[in-house]
Amino acid sequence: MTGFGRIRVLLLPAAFVAVALMASACSSSPAPSAQGHAATTTTTTTTMRAQAPTSTSSSGPASTSSTTPTTGGQGGAPGASPTLGTAAAWGASAVGFGQVKPVEISLGGDPTGVLTGITWQSWGGDTATGTGTSTYVAPGQVTAQGVQTTATVVASDLGTCGGSAAYQVVKWYFPGKGETLSTGANTNINACSGP
């Protein structure tokens, strides 16, 4: 009986090792998610129940799992926050392109191509809408006669630029001066490829 007891003591740790190895394999890191897709992190906790040598109850691992969703960050995938086109679209002097919810947009030229103090009311849907301040030039006036006026900005054509989720077009107009998105004097600005 003494020999059997020794074998049993030797086999018991081996069983724990086998169970621990199985638990380790089950709780290894999940495969990397596709770029930009929501990833899921699974944590597995294994608790070993010790068995007394004379007990007849079953023993083995008790497992609990918790799943924590995480948001993907890159690419034109669900969960990725789109940018306003790409940073390279309008050159080194441009501002706001390639950013999420930029507070300023500048084409790098005259003041009619600059929108500042932008507050976005929406972002991430088919279109994004915000308000800011830009230079309004009335019909028949020159740029020097322009006045700073509240403008509505609309980013649209949600798609991809350079492989990342982005609004491909942006335009602002002046509702206080009677303009609408379709009647505003400013043209649609290509936020992906520039002029």
- For the residues 100-126, what does the mean pLDDT come to? 95
Mean pLDDT for the chain?
A: 72
Whether the per-residue pLDDT at 34 is higher than 80: the answer is: no
% pLDDT > 70, the chain: 59
CA of 3: how far to CAs of 7, 8, 53, in Å? 6, 9, 14
Q: At 84, is the pLDDT very low, low, confident or very high (cuts 50, 70, 90)?
A: very high
pTM: 0.60
Find out whether 165 and 83 touch, Cβ atoms under 8 Å: yes
Lowest mean pLDDT of 57-61, 115-119, 177-181, name the range: 57-61
- 168 Rama sector, left if φ>0, alpha if ψ -120 to 50, beta otherwise: alpha
What are the beta bridge partners of residue 148?
Answer: 135
Find out whether 170 and 191 touch, Cβ atoms under 8 Å: yes
115 versus 64: which is more confidently predicted? Answer: 115
Whether the per-residue pLDDT at 44 is higher than 60: the answer is: no
Alpha helices in 27-164 (DSSP H): none
Distance CA 108, CA 136 (A): 17
Find out whether 146 and 177 touch, Cβ atoms under 8 Å: no
Distance CA 186, CA 125 (A): 23
Q: At 7, is the pLDDT very low, low, confident or very high (cuts 50, 70, 90)?
A: very low
Q: Which two tokens stand for residue 57?
A: 């109850």
Lowest mean pLDDT of 3-12, 124-133, 141-150, 152-161, name the range: 3-12
- Give the per-residue pLDDT at 184: 87
C-alpha R_g of the chain? 30
